[in-house]
Amino acid sequence: MDSEALRKYSALHPKPAGLSLQYGTAGFRTKAERLDHVMFRMGLLAVLRSKAVAATIGIMVTASHNPEEDNGVKLVDPLGEMLHPSWEEYATQLANAEEQELQKVITEICQKAAVDLHKDASVFIGRDTRPSSEKLSQSVIDGIQVLGGQYHDYGLVMTPQLHYVVCCQNTQGQYGKATLEGYYEKLSKAFMELIKKSHSSGESQRHLKIDCANGIGALKLSEMKPYFPQEVLIHIYNDGTKDKLNHLCGADFVKVHQNPPRGLDMKANERCCSFDGDADRIVYYYKDTAGHFHLIDGDKIATLISIFLKELLTKVKQNFRMGVVQTAYANGNSTRYLQETLKVPVHCVKTGVKHLHHKAQEFDVGVYFEANGHGTVLFSKAAETKIRQLVKEEKDDEKREAAKMLENMIDLINQTVGDAVSDMLVIEAILALKGLTVQQWDALYTDLPNRLLKVQVTDRRVIDTTDAERRALTPPGLQEKIDSLVKKYKLSRAFVRPSGTEDVVRIYAEADTQENADALAHEVSLAVFHLAGGKGAPPQP
């Protein structure tokens, strides 16, 4: 390690005094002007991680659905998955080290993680469309170069595309070609193969309005358009030419406000969807003839995909284990439908994509989505190999056809991470193949009315949870209080959990009517305020 070069470059990316940041599920996120030193140091860390695992590592500069003024960074592990938890700690230590300690911290990481500095390192970089992203990704490059790493800058990409190319690179092309063209070709080919089998040639079926949150999704969808067949008519709104990223638009806005985004005019029964700022989440929605807005969130997306996969798995008659993974935020009626009507096992895990992804890996076919629209499907190596073998060797026509569709699904789904474009194509293919309208999809089950609230507290750590965050262990008396409140309402449940990033406690309640869900959420928020050290005035109904 060249100490002199490290000192010199580190001085060009100084850490603001007193700033302390934590690497969480979303990596680092804060105001863009506070991130220069973090980017430089994550360049350093990516080189160390690459040397430790002898593989290419990804770095994505994005703050996803946050406001345009923010930015962030996350590292991508060799198979396109999120950074290993033990390295999240190293990331936090490195980002918060004072200038004069930097070399010492690097040396400690090398010792703890058995990093051989003489090994080669390779890093792939991508960034979103924020005004600050280009300069910040240059700081990443400075960090990579100081430690002698090689890098390839993909420039403007959707977060899932970076995950994809990292996985392709480290599987020696088995997962696909590590280029954006490779991504477009693989997805469009699988999509076209699937919809060839659909009977509905109705024009309206294929029209789709897409709100791209004034983000990267618009650029990449435009690049992908030539790869689509004529009958796919996608109309792009909020393409970033006029308005600010994520401002009054995007998947997060639509999900939270239960309203259509600005800049997209909806006619009755038109199919619409929204990506978030870095295109790793998607939600669908429509307005009925009475003008009512209907949101189709991650729970309903998971349900649609599960119905389709289960039908195909039944046809191929293999003993594949299928499961759906949700968090406590999943609507109670989606869980009921999956378990009781579809007879698919459902597992609940802690909030955070890494927990869902990890659990989904236990199945031959693992479907996971968060209610916010982030999710994907994972296929085990064994299941994938068997399905591809059936396509080649199965004599029975029905079985072979079903296997062929499953093979196309495997190729269409981005198994590394939630991907708005891939998920959108999966949904469009299923709707076409099953001849479903957006209203029929929505009518699979009715969501239980629910309410999300948050309460500011002095210290969020006073709340400790268990049972996938559905029960509070501390403070004493809180869970008993919640249990007694829940008993007052029909079809009700409620839980509280500390935020991962700020001193607030998040509250979720659902019940048979909106009025009851609101009342329950309010009563639980008062209990949190009084028992968990609420700040300021007590919550008002």
Annotated binding site: 64, 276, 278, 280, 370-372, 497-501, 506
What secondary structure letter does DSSP report for 280? -
Binding site, annotated residues for substrate: 370-372, 497-501, 506
Cβ neighbours of residue 440 closer than 8 Å, sequence gap 6 or more: none
What secondary structure letter does DSSP report for 273? E
Q: How many CA atoms lie within 13 A of 409 on its CB side?
A: 30
Q: Could you identify the residue written with the tokens 């750590």?
A: 461
Between CA 532 and CA 479 the distance in angstroms is: 11
Tell me the torsion sign for CA atoms 163, 169, 171, 176.
positive
Helix H or strand E encompassing 504: strand 504-510
Helix H or strand E encompassing 36: helix 36-53
Catalytic-residue membership of 50: no
- List Cα–Cα distances, 37 to 75, 136, 137, 244, 465, in angstroms: 16, 9, 11, 26, 34
Residue of 10, 50, 64, 139 marked catalytic: 64
Between CA 115 and CA 120 the distance in angstroms is: 11
Tell me the torsion sign for CA atoms 116, 88, 471, 340.
negative
Q: Which of 197, 284, 203, 274 is nearest to 239 (CA)?
A: 274
Q: Which of 494, 490, 422 is nearest to 451 (CA)?
A: 494
The one-letter amino acid code at 198 reads S
What secondary structure letter does DSSP report for 176? -
Q: Are 37 and 16 in contact (CB under 8 A)?
A: yes
Cβ neighbours of residue 292 closer than 8 Å, sequence gap 6 or more: none
Buried b (16+ CB within 10 A) or exposed e, 217-236: bbbbbeebeebbeeebebeb
Helices and strands (DSSP H and E) totals, the chain: 19, 19
Between CA 13 and CA 33 the distance in angstroms is: 11
Token duo for residue 378: 């994972």
Cα–chain-centroid distance for residue 289? 32
Q: Are 374 and 160 in contact (CB under 8 A)?
A: no
Q: Are 321 and 301 in contact (CB under 8 A)?
A: no
Q: Are 274 and 217 in contact (CB under 8 A)?
A: no
Catalytic residues: 64
